[in-house]
Amino acid sequence: MSNSFQPIEFHFLTLFPEIFPPALHSSLIGKAQKQGLVSFHFTQIRDFAKDKHKRVDDTPYGGGEGMLLRADVLHAAWKSVLPKPTKSARTLLLSPQGKILTQERARKLLKYKKIILVCGHYEGVDERFIDRCVDEEVSIGDYVLTGGELPALVLADVVTRLIPGVVGNERSLSEDSLERGLLKYPQFTRPRDFDGVEPPAVLLSGDHRAIAKWRSEQMLTRTKKKRPDLFRALKKK
């Protein structure tokens, strides 16, 4: 871990905090917590409801389907996590209207000490909360989920594994799919013969220069075939 790196605090504003611990306490993410590289905190939005029934949502002005999370309740929950604005904090709303989460966007979040993830639910969120408190809306894809909890988990996972020291072999990060705008090359392991098929001969040759060349070619070929959108974007750079 770099001496200059400060651990990241993730704060989840959610109606369903019970969703998170099983995923966040497992695998590399769990190890990252034990190493003190990252911490996860959960704020139950309903705790900040102002009436005896703990209502967090209401019908939209002007009519329409569904219910909206109230700005006053969300704002109170948000203020409990971030009493004073600071440049070291970033508030993200998980929303299908946000910009698509990418490796590049995730890497930019490493500079923040505190990342607040607002998990929307129901039909949406009162726009006044977004205007006042949200720095950025983020989506994990062009589809709609029942809430922002799963996208928040995805974002936390993507960012956490980029923290120096989380992935043991940091060279593997540089070779990840999408890290350079390309998909990763095909990979093979034992057994050498599987159902009559062996790995490409070059990978068994011991010629590291030839292997590197083959992998670079495969990254281009695979990206062009599987993700032509990425390939076109690469050619424009």
> Which one of 3.20.20.370, 1.10.1270.20, 3.40.50.300, 1.20.1290.10 gives the CATH number of domain 175-236?
1.10.1270.20
Please compute Rg for the chain using Cα positions. Answer: 22
The two tokens of residue 125 are 């969120």
- pLDDT, tens digit, for every residue of 150-194? 999 999 999 999 999 999 766 666 666 677 789 999 999 999 999
> What region does 107 belong to: left with phi over 0, alpha with psi -120 to 50, or beta?
alpha
Confidence of residue 123 (pLDDT cuts 50, 70, 90): confident
pLDDT value for 65:
87
148 with 120: CB under 8 angstroms? yes
Indicate if the pLDDT at residue 1 is higher than 50.
no
7 with 40: CB under 8 angstroms? no
Average pLDDT over the chain, rounded to whole? 93
Judge whether 8-160 and 175-236 match in fold: no
Indicate which residue of 176, 180, 186, 215 is catalytic. 176
Instruction: Please tell me what DSSP assigns to residue 230.
Output: H
Q: Is 46 a catalytic residue?
A: no
The phi and psi torsions of 121 (rounded to 5 degrees) equal -155, 175
Q: Is 123 a catalytic residue?
A: yes
Indicate which residue of 123, 137, 175, 179 is catalytic. 123
Closest CA to 152 of 24, 12, 40, 45: 12
Indicate if the pLDDT at residue 4 is higher than 80.
no
Please state, in angstroms and rounded to a whole number, the distance separating the CA atoms of residues 168 and 166: 6
The two tokens of residue 112 are 């923040």
Domain 8-160 CATH class label:
alpha beta
pLDDT value for 2:
47
Indicate the domain borders of the chain: 8-160, 175-236
Q: Is 176 a catalytic residue?
A: yes
- pLDDT, tens digit, for every residue of 26-63? 999 999 999 999 999 999 999 999 899 999 999 999 99
Q: Quick one: what percent of the chain has pLDDT higher than 70?
A: 94
Confidence of residue 5 (pLDDT cuts 50, 70, 90): confident
Indicate which residue of 96, 164, 186, 199 is catalytic. 96
Q: Quick one: what percent of the chain has pLDDT higher than 90?
A: 86
Alpha helices in 17-124 (DSSP H): 21-24, 27-34, 71-81, 103-108
Please state, in angstroms and rounded to a whole number, the distance separating the CA atoms of residues 161 and 144: 25
Exposure letters 212-227 (e unless 16+ CB within 10 A, then b): eebbeebbeebbbeeb
The phi and psi torsions of 62 (rounded to 5 degrees) equal 90, -5
92 with 155: CB under 8 angstroms? yes
Q: Is 9 a catalytic residue?
A: no
Minimum mean pLDDT range among 105-119, 149-163, 170-184, 214-228: 170-184
